[in-house]
Structure 1
Amino acid sequence: MLQDHQTLVRLNVGGICHTTSKSTLTRYPESHLAAMFSRSVPPILDDTGALFIDRDGQLFQYVLNFLRSPKLPLITDTKLLDQLSIEAEYYQLDAMV
């Protein structure tokens, strides 16, 4: 049986579905993502039962990859970097900013 921190979590981020583990999403305890798994932030579920996050689902793949391996690929597109910075601030991922 899986322990709670190994539980799979289905996310709907801006209409794009992602699946990851709870331990990945809570890697940074002070982040907004970690707060979603505390009692302080009530979850919003979509009609399939996935946790809904009203953000850009394509940008979230970068956030999720950062949580999995605290590195970002070399990104030279300044517009993309600006967008990722906004997402990192929203999710309160200071290490990603």
Structure 2
Amino acid sequence: MLAKLFPFPLRPGTQAEAERLARQFACAGPAREDGTQSFRIYRDPARPDYLLFVGHFADHAAYDRHTRSAAYQHLMAGKFADLILEFVEIDHELVVSH
């Protein structure tokens, strides 16, 4: 399993719009993709204009399919990308689960 973390600092005042796009994307993309095992988006109540995306994918091929999807291209690489200050992608591989 491949875990991807994306900490997104957002442009000031864009939290509500970013959350709206993120919800739309989660339903249109990850919820319908084979190989996307979970996809979660978190807000930090103490830090405005920030979101954390956490995705679990079967493997790198599943993640590649995810990023090539129409929903990803339109909403994440398109509209959402205009709201973020920095793009950081962090890979993790599962060691232990219970």
Q: TM-score, normalised by structure 1?
A: 0.29
More strand by proportion, 1 or 2?
2
The one of the two structures with greater contact order (alpha-carbon pairs below 8 A, sep at least 6) is: 2
